[in-house]
């Protein structure tokens, strides 16, 4: 019986331990699910709220700066590749580099737009949180004023049967939001909620909560007679009036804060139905909104959280794999390589792997080599080109940021462009044109010929090759022709 009871007790202890653990885990889950963020759950004072707001402002401001140089870096690389393309003798290699330059330029444009949209929302959130942190910090400090000593604090108002008591002048703000007051159980606030995929509620103090920061003040009057004045008091010890105060009032103390309970911040939903990443709980803030500050903060938070982790296009996105899958790159090689120029439609798709092999070989053959040769090392290469007066040398990364980039490109294009040869003047040869026995129809097909006297001959005024003179069937030319005929006749007779 004793043994059975011992086993029962052991079983009971196990059940109780399991139940206790369950309750603890349930409580922790409930606490964690209150706002969706462990840090935010622990914010219970306005000082912690102010510190959290300042930390969130810093986080959002830092995120707004992330990616601001991405577009500039992409544009620079695009210019470098464009200049390199102009130097290539091979049309295919030039086309690959031009396509690379265009891909980088498109990413630069996309980076500019996406960064602008993202930064606007993050900066807006950073501003409202910085404003919130300053507001709360100011309230906390102002809620604890200290006063200078005032020797003459009392004044009789006999005509109205009143006694006036004045304080000394305020001489300090004693509110404290430093050190452990601003921490969460001794741990600095890091604002991990920024960009969190689970954060759904913000701890926020409305005027109803912040007003409790200001304490009740009390002052003491010193009476010359002990026990003078009686007050009909309630449980707090204070009452509406006093009596039997017929004695001298010698002094009054400066107002001192009386310890009172404060009310901490309450959770406010960032999203509709706590659906993180969904519709914002506040879609619009009107000018006459009675909770304008809260609603502005919630809307800014919602919009900032949605863009916080959005990626901005960068040079890191330009990998060999992404380049090889780019349709514009494949078509650029198709249009420049004699092996692929005739391809179109489905034939291009069929030859895509061969085209990719050509591209890959030129770009280093591996992702690591591509990055090394065309992104890292290329920026420090020297370029020699004709500047304003003489040959100039510059680093590619420096040239890409100057207007001289266009000068260098035109210089290299000119070097590899075939120069036109002087055009040979068209002449007519009397031996080849307008032969005397040529048929009339065939003769007149040549605009330089005419058919006269049964023979085909050059038109009057047509220039003959190796003869500065024009043909003329009369005058001196006739005499020359006649003499030549006579000479030929004599030559024939002599030889016969």
pLDDT, residue 10, reads: 59
Q: What are 59-95's pLDDT values in tens digits?
A: 999 999 999 999 999 999 999 999 999 999 999 999 9
Confidence of residue 96 (pLDDT cuts 50, 70, 90): very high
DSSP code per residue over 453-493: TTEEEEPTTPEETTEEEEP-SSHHHHHHHHHHHHHHHHHHH
Give dist(CA 168, CA 311) in Å, integer: 58
Whether the pLDDT of residue 372 is over 60: the answer is yes
Whether the CB-CB separation of 467 and 433 falls below 8 Å is answered with: no
pLDDT recorded at residue 328: 92
Flag whether pLDDT at 452 surpasses 70.
yes
pLDDT at 429: 55
- Amino acid 9: pLDDT: 57
Q: Which residue has the higher pLDDT, 281 or 144?
A: 281
Distance CA 139, CA 137 (A): 5
Tokens representing residue 307 in the block: 């863009």
Q: Which residues contact 489 (CB under 8 A, 6 or more apart)?
A: none
How do strand 249-252 and strand 221-223 relate by DSSP bridges? antiparallel
* Residues with Cβ within 8 Å of residue 157, at least 6 apart in sequence: 163, 164
* pLDDT of the residue at 492: 40
Phi, psi angle pair for 188, to nearest 5° = -60, 145
- 3-state SS of 59-97 is HHHHHHHCCCCHHHHHHHHHHHHHHHHHHCCCHHHHHHH
Residue-level pLDDT at 200:
97
Q: HEC profile for 197-233?
A: CCCCEEEECCHHHHHHHCCEEECCEEECCCCCCEECC
Instruction: Say which residue, 145 or 31, is predicted with more confidence.
Output: 145
Mean pLDDT (the chain) is 83
- pLDDT tens, residue by residue, 375-424: 999 999 998 888 877 788 889 998 888 887 888 888 888 877 776 766 55
Strand, helix or coil for residue 241: coil
9-46 per-position pLDDT tens digit: 555 555 555 555 544 444 444 444 689 999 999 999 99
Helices (H), 245-311: 292-307
Q: What is the pLDDT of residues 314-332, one digit of tens each?
A: 999 999 999 999 999 999 9
pLDDT for the residue numbered 175: 76
Cβ distance 224 to 248 under 8 Å? yes
Contact, 464 vs 458, CB < 8 A? yes
């Amino acid at each position: 019986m004793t043994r059975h009871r011992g086993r029962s007790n052991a079983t009971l202890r196990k059940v109780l331990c399991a139940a206790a653990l369950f309750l603890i885990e349930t409580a922790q889950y409930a606490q964690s699910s209150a706002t969706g963020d462990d840090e935010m759950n622990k914010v219970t004072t306005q000082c912690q709220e102010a510190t959290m707001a300042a930390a969130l402002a810093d986080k959002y401001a830092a995120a707004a700066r992330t990616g601001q140089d991405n577009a500039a870096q992409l544009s620079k690389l695009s210019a470098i590749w464009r200049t390199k393309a102009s130097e290539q003798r091979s049309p295919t290699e030039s086309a690959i580099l031009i396509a690379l330059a265009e891909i980088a330029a498109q990413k630069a444009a996309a980076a500019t737009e996406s960064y602008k949209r993202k930064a606007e929302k993050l900066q807006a959130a950073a501003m409202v949180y910085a404003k919130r942190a300053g507001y709360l910090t100011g309230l906390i400090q102002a809620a604890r004023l200290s006063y200078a000593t005032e020797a003459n604090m009392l004044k009789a108002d006999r005509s109205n049967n009143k006694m006036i008591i004045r304080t000394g002048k305020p001489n300090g703000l004693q509110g404290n939001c430093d050190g452990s007051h601003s921490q969460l159980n001794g741990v600095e606030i890091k604002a991990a909620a920024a960009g969190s995929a689970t954060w759904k509620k913000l701890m926020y103090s409305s005027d109803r909560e912040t007003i409790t920061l200001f304490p009740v003040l009390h002052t003491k009057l010193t009476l010359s007679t002990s026990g003078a004045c009686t007050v009909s008091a309630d449980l707090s010890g204070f009452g509406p009036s006093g009596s039997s105060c017929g004695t001298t009032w010698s002094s009054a103390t400066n107002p001192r804060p009386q310890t009172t309970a404060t009310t901490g911040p309450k959770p406010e939903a960032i999203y509709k139905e706590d659906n993180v990443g969904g519709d914002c709980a506040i879609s619009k803030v009107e000018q006459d909104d009675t909770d304008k500050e809260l609603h502005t903060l919630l809307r800014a938070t919602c919009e900032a959280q949605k863009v916080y982790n959005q990626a901005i296009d960068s040079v890191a996105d330009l990998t060999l794999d992404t380049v090889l899958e780019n349709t514009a790159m494949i078509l650029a090689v198709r249009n420049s390589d004699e092996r692929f120029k005739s391809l179109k439609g489905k034939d291009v798709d069929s030859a895509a792997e061969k085209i990719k092999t050509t591209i890959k070989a030129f770009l280093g053959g591996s992702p690591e080599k591509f990055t090394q040769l065309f992104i890292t090392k290329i920026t420090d290469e020297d370029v020699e080109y004709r500047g304003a007066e003489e040959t100039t040398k510059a680093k590619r990364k420096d040239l890409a940021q100057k207007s001289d980039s266009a000068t260098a490109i035109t210089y290299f294009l000119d070097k590899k462009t075939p120069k036109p040869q002087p055009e040979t003047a068209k002449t007519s040869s009397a031996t080849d044109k307008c032969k005397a026995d040529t048929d009339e129809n065939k003769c007149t097909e040549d605009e330089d010929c005419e058919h006269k006297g049964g023979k085909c001959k050059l038109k009057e005024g047509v220039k003959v090759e190796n003869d500065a003179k024009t043909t003329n069937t009369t005058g001196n030319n006739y005499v020359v022709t006649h003499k030549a005929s006579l000479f030929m006749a004599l030559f024939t007779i002599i030889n016969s």
